[in-house]
Amino acid sequence: VDSCYRCVVIHEKHPNVLQYKETFCDLRASLDQMCGQITGDASLYSMFRAEPAGGPVPCPFKGAPFTFTYNRGSGECGSPVSRVDSCTNESQLLLRYQACPDVHGTESTVEELVCLATWKDGSTRYLVGKLYHKMATSDEDRYRCFVYDQHHQHNHHQVYQVAQSGDATCNGLLSALEGSRTMKLTTIENQHSRCRYPAFVTDHHHWHTLDHSRSYMILHKNTTLRITREEGGQEMRVVCHNEHHTSHHQVTIVAHATSGCNSGYVCMVFYRREGHVIELQKSTQFVQVPEEACSPANFNPSALPFITLITTSLHKKRCPYLGRYSISGLSVDGRQMSAARRKRKCSDEQGVVDAGGVDNKADCGSYDFKSLVVGCSENSDTMEFYSSCDTEAVSSYLCHGSWEDNGTSYLIASPVSRKSVGARRYCFIYTRSGGESSMGLSQHADGNKHGGMGSVSTVLRLSSVTESCHRNINPGVTGAWAFNLTINGV
């Protein structure tokens, strides 16, 4: 085969896009002579980077959601209207096409657009993206080029006129009005603009769960809640839509939630607990009609978990139930502590190995609790656990606020030091075996109410958890720790 030569003229439109024109294969000639053979109407070829440098780019169509009409050459499809929804990632959009009965070639389908590159050539704006849909099986089916133009209507709505290529090139796109498919995107009136999250939530703009597994950020002038996972999972964006019900300690909100490219309306109930503690219940299913979000069919508070949220820095609060208690029936993660182990006594500071080869001093472990002292030291905001071996507290915890819900009490506490065992934050869940309500205060001779247990009740059943203040915990029976407390004095 005889050798031949081509002149190739390459233009970088974007780090992810190269476009070029070339001559036919010809005998060797001067470079100027060969390249002079490229005419203005020569075929334009496009190359798209398979793995985009820096990843996808933000889509240029700002202000989603949109309604849109489209035309594939057989007439405009505008009734029913189609819709574009935003995704959590700003480089993605979801196009929901509707079929028009009177327009040939239209169909109901969903396409996900991932934006890869944008550039401007003269006055023309270009976009390259990948379209994911049920009919796309190869890169030739997925890569598409777009030309778009933005303008404003008299009613302040933003409008984008968009033309799409018919193949994986930018050929044939002369304007935003000419293409294999043309679309007209119009912003939807912002229905959420007047809705704000309640003040007791927005007083702090950063909340997180007790175990820090999820973070809740208040954004965009108190209209948006961004939920992220510590391990880097998919985040959720929740925009306040309207207030459904409001009281001093409880607010019900209908919100528009987006997770990935799935979106819809959810029902949320925020509960005011303490200044630095709130709780949340949220429906799990997305609905497309906001009025249905808080209906009994979609939101059943008795079946939904509570999510306990705290601020980064917590204030110390007076502990409930001040007094001295004996601990019995201790179990850790569902395992009952051995009775034989709990009866062992420690010798002196040196630890003694008994005949069975057991180190008794070592056996007095972090969870070998025998007594609890609440608020009896200098501060009334501290709980101190003692073992049968030491006179010093094994673990000390600061109280950060408590409340009662449906006859059960809840307390947020944190370890005083790293010597204290377990998680960074705990929810202690407790009930009384009788007498006053579980948050009741005993009346002392000085006429003041104190957090003592009083003589009416004999046993306080207590459990602790580290994620949220779960309502399915049976105090004294289930939980990370579970034990019973008997009053020794106040």
- Provide the whole-model pTM: 0.78
Domain match, 159 and 261 both: no
What span, in angstroms and rounded, lies between the C-alpha atoms of 256 and 65? 11
With respect to residue 59, please indicate whether it lies within any of the assigned structural domains. Answer: no
Tell me what percent of the residues of the chain surpass a pLDDT of 70: 84
Which of 126, 155, 187 is the C-terminal boundary of a domain? Answer: 187
What span, in angstroms and rounded, lies between the C-alpha atoms of 422 and 428? 13
Determine the pLDDT at residue 334. 66
Q: Give the count of domains, the chain.
A: 4
Which of 130, 158, 187 is the C-terminal boundary of a domain? Answer: 187
With respect to residue 155, please indicate whether it lies within any of the assigned structural domains. Answer: yes
With respect to residue 234, please indicate whether it lies within any of the assigned structural domains. Answer: yes
Output the average pLDDT for the chain. 84
Domain match, 30 and 97 both: no
With respect to residue 29, please indicate whether it lies within any of the assigned structural domains. Answer: yes
262-321 tens-digit pLDDT: 999 999 999 999 889 999 999 999 998 999 999 999 999 999 999 999 998 889 999 988
Domain match, 294 and 336 both: no
With respect to residue 306, please indicate whether it lies within any of the assigned structural domains. Answer: yes
Domain match, 224 and 90 both: no
Domain match, 373 and 268 both: no
49-72 tens-digit pLDDT: 999 988 999 999 998 889 999 999
Q: Looking at the predicted structure, is the pLDDT value of residue 357 above 50? A: no
What span, in angstroms and rounded, lies between the C-alpha atoms of 372 and 388? 11
Do 109 and 219 touch, CB atoms closer than 8 A?
Answer: no
Band of residue 395 on the pLDDT scale cut at 50, 70, 90: confident
Determine the pLDDT at residue 351. 40
With respect to residue 373, please indicate whether it lies within any of the assigned structural domains. Answer: yes
Domain match, 336 and 483 both: yes
Domain match, 249 and 379 both: no
Domain match, 208 and 182 both: no
With respect to residue 19, please indicate whether it lies within any of the assigned structural domains. Answer: yes
What span, in angstroms and rounded, lies between the C-alpha atoms of 45 and 140? 13
Task: Output the DSSP codes for 226-254.
Answer: EEEETT----EEEEEEEEEEE-SSEEEEE
166-213 tens-digit pLDDT: 999 998 898 999 999 999 999 987 666 679 999 999 999 999 999 999
With respect to residue 57, please indicate whether it lies within any of the assigned structural domains. Answer: no
Determine the pLDDT at residue 348. 39
224-259 tens-digit pLDDT: 999 999 877 778 999 999 998 888 899 999 999 999
Domain match, 19 and 114 both: no
Domain match, 340 and 472 both: yes
Which domain covers residue 141, as residue numbers?
A: 66-187
Domain match, 363 and 482 both: yes
Within 10 angstroms of residue 58's Cβ, the number of other Cβ atoms is 12
Domain match, 267 and 409 both: no
